Amino acid sequence: MKTPQDAFSDYLTDQNLKMTPQRRLILETMLKQGDHVSSEELYARVKKKDPSIGQATVYRTLKLLSDSGLVEPLDFADGVTRYEPSYGKEHHDHLICERCGKNIEIMDETIERRQEAIAREHGFTLCSHKMYLYGVCPDCRKKGEA
Amino acid sequence: MKTPQDAFSDYLTDQNLKMTPQRRLILETMLKQGDHVSSEELYARVKKKDPSIGQATVYRTLKLLSDSGLVEPLDFADGVTRYEPSYGKEHHDHLICERCGKNIEIMDETIERRQEAIAREHGFTLCSHKMYLYGVCPDCRKKGEA
DNA sequence: TTTCTTGCAAAACTTTTGCACGTTA
DNA sequence: TAACGTGCAAAAGTTTTGCAAGAAA
């Protein structure tokens, strides 16, 4: 399997776009510690390595990474779009603690199959889905009781 | 079962808040044709009945209705928060056509049970969930082929 | 009469865009 | 060298907030 870096290069070439140091850096940073980061957060991290980089470039690059399938936009309904690396990773959903924000990745074959079935029953061709489970994690529940 | 209007009144009283003509009108409008409306859209409708009403009042009232459990915020990731009446209605999820925006309400016992089970396996107490299925509806697929 | 609510306008935020200048292929 | 990319600042779009005046309990 191609590295994410190569996959990105290939995508850019394919679209007649160009590789730049900024794009490389943003992808690197995203891959390194990029779980559920917002554009703003990523911008802050990227800026430490290259203070001259602009916020707009981060937004624009995230869109490219998204279009190329290297990262996945997430929507936790907190007002900002978050992203996670998705290249070569299996699809998963999220179980989120409403108190502390803890975020557990889940995958469930039964649910995936039912989703397909439901779409088919309505004549839809399923493209993607989003599922977020919100609850209270064990730690927070203990604190609540104490 | 209480009417939504009464439930809202009770909620307001309970919170030491007050019923007003604006709040009554916004709730009425929401109930009447309120499926998947944004604040902006609701504002437009409400304004026809009472042109003096302010946008901010609609936002503020939607928050109240949300907090009181009368309406449910939806997040179709189109940049705006949408709402639907939820009082006395069964929970359901959404199957959305990516092309035309068609929106079908779905409910599935199997999935709901699995969600509970997954949360439990991780020690979570499940509070709520959101699930959106994105696909292409039969009509749009036909158009695409034509 | 006290507290809450309203409408307005301004502010706050996230994200997008226009533009002149630099860079990539 | 032709096309694309960048940083900056301004703009766009949604939602929130401060405030003075008005209304509900």
What single string gives the DSSP state of each residue in A70-131?
Answer: SEEEE--SSSS-EEEE-TT----EEEEETTT--EEEE--HHHHHHHHHHHHHTTPEEEEEEE
Share of chain A above pLDDT 70, in %: 98
What is d(CA A54, CA A49) in angstroms, rounded to the nearest whole number? 12
Give residue-wise pLDDT tens across range B16-42: 999 999 999 999 999 998 789 999 999
Domains of chain B (ranges; CATH) run 4-85 (1.10.10.10), 93-145 (3.30.1490.190)
In this complex, the residue of B114, B123, B133 whose CB is nearest that of residue A118 is: B133
Q: Is the CB of A60 under 7 A from strand D?
A: yes
How many interface pairs between A and B have CB atoms less than 8 angstroms apart? 101
* HEC assignment per residue over A18-70: CCCHHHHHHHHHHHHHCCCEEHHHHHHHHHHHCCCCCHHHHHHHHHHHHHCCC
Query: CA–C1' span, B62 to C4, in Å?
Result: 17
Q: Is the CB of A78 under 7 A from strand D?
A: no
Query: CA–C1' span, A80 to C4, in Å?
Result: 32
pLDDT band at residue B146 under the 50/70/90 scheme? low
Please indicate whether, in this complex, the C-beta atoms of A129 and B133 are within 8 angstroms of each other. Answer: yes
Q: What is the mean pLDDT of residues A101-115?
A: 94
Helix H or strand E segment including B112:
helix B109-121
pTM (2 d.p.): 0.89
Give residue-wise pLDDT tens across range B96-106: 998 888 889 99
Other CB atoms within 10 A of residue B122 CB? 16
